[in-house]
Amino acid sequence: MTLFPDAIDAMMGQSIIGRAQARGLVTITAHQIREYTTNKQMQVDDYPYGGGRGAVMQADPLYRCWDHICQEAGERVHTIYLSPCGRVFDQQVAKELKAAYERLILVCGHYEGVDQRFIDECVDEEISMGDFVLTGGEIPAMALADCLCRMVPGVLPEESCYTDESHWDGLLEYPQYSRPEEWHGRKVPEVLLSGHHGKVDDWRKKESYKRTMTRRPDLFARFDEASLTTKHDRKVLAEAKAEWAAEQESPAAE
């Protein structure tokens, strides 16, 4: 639900998500809220009660749009309002939504916000992209949709395309390299050229641990080490911690 459907269609019709839609794996429909107004001006906003700057999106056009979508779906669709007041979106929230719902309505606010009465009556939850404010909900809605759609079977070539990435298991992804082997004097780590899959896997795990410890210690503090069920995995983690500690003490780390 948006005031700028062309922006949604232009972005979500490209690349991986665009191809997924063309193949019928996912469907993203941008509904123009102005089409559900009852006045010739197609007005969707008005001054806020109590005074203040800006305008507030009115409840009635939003409700009419929302009701039309639910009637088309034949059910009350789980509805998310993209708002800086909501719970912060992350990969775990994405997994929860993907597992729980086949359909979602994403409400893109604008101006100074949305009439609270529409939120109280129609919105099931509010979700935020972080502790900052944008001019509208379109960018957050597209980010959420992209994140969920790429987990739909068939959208990416393999499940590992998203399970091996940052945040899936609470860690940051390891560094990636491509050709040539040397660029501007910087070489690809030798282990990645070895052809030894076991050593490559261990290196990637260790680099993932070390990168998370360095860049997101808050994430690493929440990492469940009990999830490592094999002696080898626990050894790799211990080696990563030792290497990370040594790197912090080296002159290059200062």
Average pLDDT, integer, range 92-111: 96
* Residue with token string 């001006």: 41
Is residue 11 a known part of a binding site? Answer: no
Structural domain includes residue 66: yes
Clarify whether residues 223 and 177 are in a common domain: yes
Structural domain includes residue 154: no
pLDDT tens digits, 175-196 = 999 999 999 999 999 999 999 9
Is residue 1 a known part of a binding site? Answer: no
State the pLDDT confidence band at 254, using cuts at 50, 70 and 90. very low
Is residue 200 a known part of a binding site? Answer: no
Look up the domain containing 201 and give its range.
164-253
Cα 247 to Cα 180: distance, rounded to the nearest angstrom: 27
Which pLDDT score, from 0 to 100, does residue 128 have?
97
Clarify whether residues 86 and 203 are in a common domain: no
Asked if 78 and 124 count as a contact pair (C-beta separation under 8 A), the reply is: yes
Count the Cβ atoms, other than its own, within 10 Å of residue 14: 11
Q: Report how many domains make up the chain.
A: 2
Is residue 151 a known part of a binding site? Answer: no
| Domain termination residue (choose one: 85, 116, 149) | 149
Three-state DSSP class for residue 84: strand
Which pLDDT score, from 0 to 100, does residue 169 have?
81
Whether residue 162 has pLDDT greater than 50: yes
CATH number of the domain enclosing 211: 1.10.1270.20
Three-state DSSP class for residue 113: coil
Return the amino acid letter for 123.
Answer: V
Structural domain includes residue 47: yes
Which pLDDT score, from 0 to 100, does residue 139 have?
97
Cα–Cα distance list, 238 to 33, 37, 91, 114, 234 (Å)? 55, 61, 26, 50, 6
pLDDT tens digits, 7-61 = 999 999 999 999 999 999 999 999 999 999 999 899 999 999 999 889 999 999 9
Is residue 172 a known part of a binding site? Answer: no
Tokens read off for 180: 């040539």
